[in-house]
């Protein structure tokens, strides 16, 4: 797995993200995750609405929070039970996707794909907004993303495929994986400083 520069990666992202697009991606992810939580009956409508507002406030305060973590907090979970609660919510959400992403327990050991993030600054910013680390990049042919929130990971996967396709004319093979809460917390701090 490559963490250094890659000959296939250009230096600048020609599809620079504007703030309105970032807000749209964040809100779309929040909306899809809210609907999924309600569909699997993992939270009540009032819990989901309150958790969504907590996510918006956290993001505006510069401390992004995933909806699953916010939902667990709204439901009264505290450390150390919050990790188990978030993991249970993630498991429930994964059944809403066509293919449930497998849980990968060793992702925290993988090298940060710095060259990919530098080459695709827009992707790095979106990944930070969605709290979805890119966990591996094999040039632009195979890329993996992972999160506690499988819906957010799927969204970032599609954005990456589109960006790589526009720049290089190829659609990378994407791997979408789930992380446990502890690994996710570690990786989001490592990749995004959050």
Q: What is the pLDDT of residues 75-129, one digit of tens each?
A: 998 877 899 999 999 999 999 998 889 999 888 889 999 999 999 999 999 999 9
Query: Using the 8-state DSSP alphabet, how is residue 108 labeled?
Result: G
User: Over the chain, what is the mean pLDDT?
Assistant: 88
**pLDDT attached to residue 18:** 58
User: Which DSSP symbol is given to 103?
Assistant: B
pLDDT tens for each residue of 9-32: 333 444 455 556 767 999 999 999
pTM of the model: 0.87
Q: Where are the beta strands (DSSP E) in 82-172?
A: 134-138, 142-147
């Amino acid at each position: 797995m490559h963490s250094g520069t890659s000959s296939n990666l250009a230096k600048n992202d020609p599809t620079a993200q504007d703030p309105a697009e970032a807000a749209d991606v964040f809100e779309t992810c929040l909306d899809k995750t809210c609907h999924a939580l309600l569909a699997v009956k993992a939270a009540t409508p009032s819990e989901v609405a309150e958790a969504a507002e907590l996510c918006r406030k956290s993001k505006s305060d510069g401390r992004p929070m995933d909806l699953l973590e916010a939902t667990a907090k709204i439901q009264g979970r505290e450390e150390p039970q919050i990790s188990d609660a978030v993991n249970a919510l993630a498991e429930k959400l994964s059944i809403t996707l066509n293919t449930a992403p497998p849980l990968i327990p060793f992702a925290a050991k993988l090298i940060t794909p710095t060259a990919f993030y530098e080459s695709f600054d827009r992707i790095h910013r979106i990944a930070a907004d969605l709290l979805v680390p890119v966990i591996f990049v094999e040039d632009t042919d195979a890329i993996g993303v992972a999160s506690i929130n499988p819906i957010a990971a799927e969204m970032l996967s599609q954005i990456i495929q589109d960006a790589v396709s526009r720049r290089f004319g190829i659609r990378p093979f994407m791997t979408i994986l789930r992380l446990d809460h502890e690994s996710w917390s570690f990786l989001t701090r490592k990749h995004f400083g959050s």
